[in-house]
Structure 1
Amino acid sequence: MTSVTPFVSQENAPGKLQDAVVELYTLDSALNANIPESLRLPMVKLLRVVNSFYSNKIEGNPTHPAEILHAQEEGGANDPSDDLLEIKQHIEVQARLANLEIGRGVICTSKFFREVHKEFYQGLPKKFLEIKNPDTDEIIPITPGEFRTRNVKVGKHVPPEHQEISRYMGWFEKVFNPAHIHGTNRLFAAAAAHHRFMWIHPFLDGNGRVGRLFTDNYMHCSGLGGYGLWSMCRGFGRDTDAYYEALSRADMERQGSTDGRGILSDKGLLQFTEYFLDTALDQVKYFSALLEPKKLDERINYYFEMRNRGALLSSTGETLKPLKPESKEVYFKLLRSGPQQRADLQRSLETSERTLRTIVSQMSDAGLVEAPAKKPVALALSPSSIEMLFPHLW
């Protein structure tokens, strides 16, 4: 038997946390319902980049957002640095997981965690596949997708011994399976599952990134239809000290007979749950405000105005080329009405086929639309527009 409290249940949660969960579901539902459908996929793709930046930042990756945007503008023209390659790999793993449509019965299994770990580490340079024992300077190889076979210490935290990992992960799968958790308890479970996985620390390295990838998928399984349009990783990464402090409080051993019955502090778990829900609410409110139609329209207008004045620079410091004046009208048309056939855009603009071809070509080169041959023209978010259209994103 594993003597660890799984999660703070709805019945035992303070009223303010019960209210927070209801508010979170309400705000998430509103965001999911109100976002223009044309913007949904570009935003999901953008959030993968944001998630990767913040999740790797938490682990000490020094890559700056401008480097990521520059790499996107280049389109892979140059070989990325090792740190940028780590972020690129993380983005690709997110995309593959999204395409798999992970089921509720799979999300908490050891197989799932191993596959995510393997996906992330395969293909990374050798320096990412080994760690150094700080006490002995021993170089320890990391096997992608394999649980650790030695005991470790992470700061002040001493995770369960390696012989216990299979038992703990079996317990984890049983108690956190979202198919067996109902109603608002799923969000209380999401918070606890994030900590409990980190506490078990089943891999030699990579537990943080794997744990946050898991939480992204668990939030989807918790009935948050708008998740992916907002991000827990961004909340964790914007104040790394607060994140680690919250995890540390939940690592505490039980503080006397009034602190639950398991080996870990129920008070610490409650504090982490409060931190997790506060972070979630902060993020869904931020992205809801960011996508508020009137304010978004104002930022789009300003972007095109500044671009056509020659007042905007690329990530390399070069002045961005002006666009045809009709480009803004095309952008708003795609935003409001979704992907458009070229003939429909031509009629809407009352222009010639040749002029439309020039407009679409310019916008495609600028990353503002996706315009594959013989397919509708669709909205995109260019690296150069992101910081103006979505301020304070990083």
Structure 2
Amino acid sequence: MYSSPHQFEPILLSERQLETVIPLSERIVTTSVKLSAATHATTRATLRELVRQMNSFYSNRIEGQSTHPRNIERALHNDFSDRPDEARLQRIALAHIEAEKELEGLANDDGALRSAFLIDAHRALYERLAPDDRVSDDGEVIVPGQIRTRDVQVGRHVPPTSASLPAFLQRLDQVFGGARGWERVLIHAACTYHRVAWVHPFLDGNGRATRLQSHCALWKLSEGLWSPSRGLARSTEAYYAALHNADSPRRGDLDGRGNLSAQGLLEWVQYFLGVCEDQVTYMSRMLALDGIKQRIEALVIFRSTQDKGMRREAILPLVHIFGLGPVTRSEFAQLTGLRERNARSLLSKLLATGLLVSDTPYGPVRIGLPLDALGMLFPCLYPEAGLPV
């Protein structure tokens, strides 16, 4: 039985190991900083909302409790299924989105990797669920933000005793509470993810809480435009293998000085950072203006062949709004070059299809990202959204 924090050392990579992953971490930071300046703030806000939906879908899919992206979108509009099981999955997805948004607002300092934030993440998620929606596999109602009070076994892994959890969490705070510099924060986030999963501080919801913590720890770097959850869920075999390897005991005298494998932890960090690099690189490629212009053009041309209300004159204003932000309705008409009546008709079509969004009937219009357009606008970003419900 694990009962002392020395039993999950090493918690952090050695200096020699750090040298092998710092270049990868630096690339992620550089690419992410450039990404944040790639689009208008309003477009970034729209993308951020989409990423939250994706995070909810992918994080819950890892737990085997995902619902279709269109059902998530319906839940956001208070439209829940008549089927109890499906409605429960919708409520779980919605709770994840709302919790993530709340937690992003709390991630304004270096405290997101502390155990208090992890507990807040668990609380923020589960307090949004009724007791019937937060029942564990063994029928126990999960208390939001409560550290487990009994011992458990997770597969072949037996986490630390419940009585020793405060000491383990305190040790994590000592190591990860004051990370400085995004290159190091990324590495600390990777190490925290595994060691928290190994400690298993809650009866249930450990994976979800840990992914919320990781997302928020990196939020000021990513600005919510990318997140590890998508990559973790899309490489589940490698994900579980890397987690399992990092659980391994020390593999001999050349494998560090702690109880657990230093090499296994390094392999997990390399996997986690590889996922982050893949996510930020993909989003950078998708948000490059030349590429998005071509894909908007392709989408409008395709839809114009299917719907007479969609006209090619929509291309220029859509590209303009994506890159430079909202426009007034009169500015939209000018960008189309159409007569007033035809411009109003085209605007109505774009609003009806969700490619443009407005907060009021006569207010400015901004870019929208409806699920049925993602396959052409951002190929492979969220392919599950295009599958039949």
1:166-315 aligned within 5 A: 166-177=166-177, 179-182=178-181, 184-220=183-219, 224=221, 226-310=222-306
Report the Cα distance in structure 1 between the residues aligned to 2:18 and 2:125, rounded to whole angstroms.
38
Task: Tell me which residue corresponds to 1:106.
Answer: 111
How far does residue 324 in structure 1 lie from its aligned partner after superposition? 4.6
Structure with greater helix percent:
2
How far does residue 237 in structure 1 lie from its aligned partner after superposition? 0.2
1:144-159 aligned within 5 A: 144-159=144-159
Task: Tell me which residue corresponds to 1:313.
Answer: none
How far does residue 302 in structure 1 lie from its aligned partner after superposition? 1.4
Q: Give the letter for the 2:184 counterpart.
A: N
Report the Cα distance in structure 2 between the residues aligned to 1:270 and 1:78, rounded to whole angstroms.
43
Report the Cα distance in structure 1 between the residues aligned to 2:229 and 2:11, rounded to whole angstroms.
22
Q: Contact between 1:191 and 1:276, CA under 8 Å: does it hold in 2?
A: yes
Report the Cα distance in structure 2 between the residues aligned to 1:25 and 1:52, rounded to whole angstroms.
24
How far does residue 340 in structure 1 lie from its aligned partner after superposition? 1.1
Task: Tell me which residue corresponds to 1:369.
Answer: 356
Task: Tell me which residue corresponds to 2:22.
Answer: 18
Alpha-carbon RMSD across the aligned residues, in angstroms, is 2.5
Report the Cα distance in structure 2 between the residues aligned to 1:348 and 1:129, rounded to whole angstroms.
51
Report the Cα distance in structure 2 between the residues aligned to 1:25 and 1:132, rounded to whole angstroms.
39
Report the Cα distance in structure 2 between the residues aligned to 1:81 and 1:391, rounded to whole angstroms.
29
Q: Give the letter for the 1:234 counterpart.
A: R
Q: Give ranges in structure 2 of 5+ residues lacking alignment.
A: 383-389
TM normalised by structure 1 equals 0.86
Q: Give the letter for the 1:45 counterpart.
A: E
Aligned residues: 372
Q: Contact between 2:231 and 2:276, CA under 8 Å: does it hold in 1?
A: yes
Report the Cα distance in structure 1 between the residues aligned to 2:172 and 2:370, rounded to whole angstroms.
41
Alpha-carbon spacing, 1:244–1:86, altered in 2? closer, same or farther (3 Å): same
Report the Cα distance in structure 2 between the residues aligned to 1:84 and 1:322, rounded to whole angstroms.
33
Name the SS for the 1:202 alignment partner. coil
How far does residue 97 in structure 1 lie from its aligned partner after superposition? 2.0
Q: Contact between 2:113 and 2:192, CA under 8 Å: does it hold in 1?
A: no
Alpha-carbon spacing, 1:130–1:183, altered in 2? closer, same or farther (3 Å): closer
Q: Contact between 1:369 and 1:379, CA under 8 Å: does it hold in 2?
A: yes
Task: Tell me which residue corresponds to 1:336.
Answer: 323
Query: For each residue in 1:83-109, what CA deviation from the matched residue of structure 2 results, as whole angstroms up to 9, or x when unmatched?
Result: 1221122112122222x1413343234
Alpha-carbon spacing, 1:14–1:333, altered in 2? closer, same or farther (3 Å): closer
Report the Cα distance in structure 2 between the residues aligned to 1:297 and 1:183, rounded to whole angstroms.
32
Q: Give the letter for the 2:169 counterpart.
A: M
2:77 aligned with 1:81: no
Query: For each residue in 1:14-40, what CA deviation from the matched residue of structure 2 results, as whole angstroms up to 9, or x when unmatched?
Result: 654222122222222222232344421
How far does residue 209 in structure 1 lie from its aligned partner after superposition? 0.6
Task: Tell me which residue corresponds to 1:392.
Answer: 380
Q: Contact between 2:289 and 2:323, CA under 8 Å: does it hold in 1?
A: no
